Structure 1
Amino acid sequence: MMWRKVPVVVNLSDVFKHLSYRDEIMSELRRNRIFDILRVSGRVNLLDLANELQISSETVRRDLKRMADEGVVEIVRGGATLPDVLREAAFQHCLNLNADLKRKIAAAAATLVENGDTIMIGGGSTTCYLALALRDHRNLRIITNSVDAARILGSRGENEVHAVGGRLDDYLGSTVGVVAVENIRRYSAEKTFFSVGAVDASIGLTSDTADEVACWQAMIEAGSQAIALIDSSKFGQRCLFKCASFEEIDTIVADRSPDPALAASFAAHKIEFINADGSGTAEKSQSRIHRANSSKVREQA
């Protein structure tokens, strides 16, 4: 039996339409991701976006240009930022997002603070709730780059508030930049409280905001105990910039228990886990100073 070849007719117009439709979908997905990052960080860097999305800088420029034409972003040197009206709405969105969980976390974290403590408070929506939860504490010395935390706790006459100088980021509601980091490094505190964008069992704590990460890292170095406030929506997630490894963290306060993989990472690094709903805690950790001293004793032995 002889087989006869049948010619296949391809309509190039249909092919191009399909490719164009696919490209439009991919572009929309990228723009949505860019906007999600902007809602968290308030500003994006072109090269960082290219690395995050694994696309060329030119493609990022085209996406940002289109978003600017739609009024969603404002183009600035090296990247883009949210327009003022959206920046204010985005910050309010962060405060309102999982607000009840953040209040629970803040209330649990406040029990770790004693009257007379010297503490550091990083920027972020969850730490704003911590400042509110600390209003009845007395004789605190607070070092913070959070404008709201400084205002809330500074109104209490018994407290001594050191507001860290630097470049004010009105979206983050905190001071950031090189000057802020250098100012933070001049201080020493018993406890550092901060919140992050995500926590993953294999990489640690991350965030999408490079400027704020730099401030958190300086605070972790300056404090004897590092206490992270993390709502459970951030479990198992990753952001662009690494904030801290598990070795640097003493305590994590969250609204529910983590999954087994994350819980195993906490336990392996002797991180105290405090469940804000009161259903139990993991093994308590030693502070990094105590860990370091223990290591020295073992080495001498």
Structure 2
Amino acid sequence: MSLSFRQSDILEIAREDGRVTVEGLADRFQVTVQTIRRDLAELSEAGKLDRVHGGAVLRSGVSNIGYEDRRALNHEAKTRIAERCAANISEGSSVFMNIGTSTEAVARQMLHHKNLMVVTNNMNVAHILAESSDCQIVVAGGVLRRSDSGLVGNLAVSTIRQFKFDHAIIGCSAMDPAGDLMDFDLQEVLVSQTIIEQARHISLVADTSKFQRTAPARIASLADVDTVYTDKALPGDLTAKCKHWKTKIVEC
């Protein structure tokens, strides 16, 4: 399907906000609600969005959206989150960083940290931090996932179990309303669970788009996380639950 300029803009807004409304789009583009409904119907038929009452949301399901789309999604929010998270990583620390565009954003903010050891199963993180002369980089072995340069599987898990990290910086593909962190790849889930077991302090970096998506495989609960860095308040009663779990929330 070839998208019109307006439909491309609608899709970009949905990627940034997680959802769009018919009324809001009609007002923004100065067209009728009928025109917007046709646009949303075509985007839905093309598999780009899911229709909901009054608008549409990013499509979710059993497969992740493309890596480049994820990299562009909520870019400014990810940068703010990354800055706050990196600022709380002390120099001289050992850090694990997993697969994801959010952890890559944190890596960019850590280029001037001194005397770090970073272990990662994310080849992109390794390449970013290779620019720093003060960072020792250990790349976990594993099977290369070409879609996002991630390393997964039993070899990655075995490597991670050789360490005890001061910090683990992790992302997720989605967050369930109950506070469960979710992902699409069972091999990646196993790696993430091992990271959580081997770290003294767990930091989750998750922008608001993760609250509006679903994924089939459970990594862990927010109860297993020490600090959540995000750009908006957590939905529903998750803020109260985090207080009970002693999980700190940092809004960026």
TM-score of Structure 1 vs Structure 2, range by shorter chain: 0.7 to 0.9
Separation in 2, partners of 1:156, 1:30: 41
2:121 to 130, 142, 145: 145
Separation in 1, partners of 2:227, 2:181: 13
Q: Mark the CA change 1:94 to 1:111 in structure 2 (over 3 Å): closer, same or farther.
A: same
Separation in 2, partners of 1:140, 1:220: 19
TM-score by length of 1: 0.62
Separation in 2, partners of 1:29, 1:203: 31
Separation in 2, partners of 1:269, 1:185: 26
**Structure with greater proportional strand content:** 2
TM-score by length of 2: 0.74
2:106 to 130, 136, 147: 130
Determine if the alignment matches structure 1 residue 92 to structure 2 residue 68: yes
- What is the 5 A alignment of 1:173-212? 173-212=149-188
What is the alpha-carbon root mean square deviation over aligned residues? 2.4
Structure 1 residue 97: Cα displacement: 1.0
Q: Are the aligned partners of 2:64 and 2:184 in contact in 1 as well (CA < 8 Å)?
A: no
The equivalent residue for 1:244 is: 220
1:45-68 Cα shifts (integer Å, max 9, x gaps): xxxxxxxxxxxxxxxxxxxxxxxx
Give the paired residue count: 202
**Counterpart residue type for residue 136 of structure 2:** E
Determine if the alignment matches structure 1 residue 233 to structure 2 residue 209: yes
Separation in 1, partners of 2:221, 2:72: 28
- What is the 5 A alignment of 1:1-301? 37-40=62-65, 90-235=66-211, 237-276=213-252
Structure 1 residue 204: Cα displacement: 1.4
Consecutive unaligned residues of structure 2, counting only runs of 5 or more, are 1-44, 51-58
Q: Are the aligned partners of 2:70 and 2:101 in contact in 1 as well (CA < 8 Å)?
A: yes
**Structure with greater proportional helix content:** 1
Structure 1 residue 191: Cα displacement: 0.6
Radius of gyration: which is bigger? 1
Percent identical: 24
The structure with higher relative contact order (CA 8 Å, sep 6+) is: 2
Q: Are the aligned partners of 1:200 and 1:262 in contact in 2 as well (CA < 8 Å)?
A: no
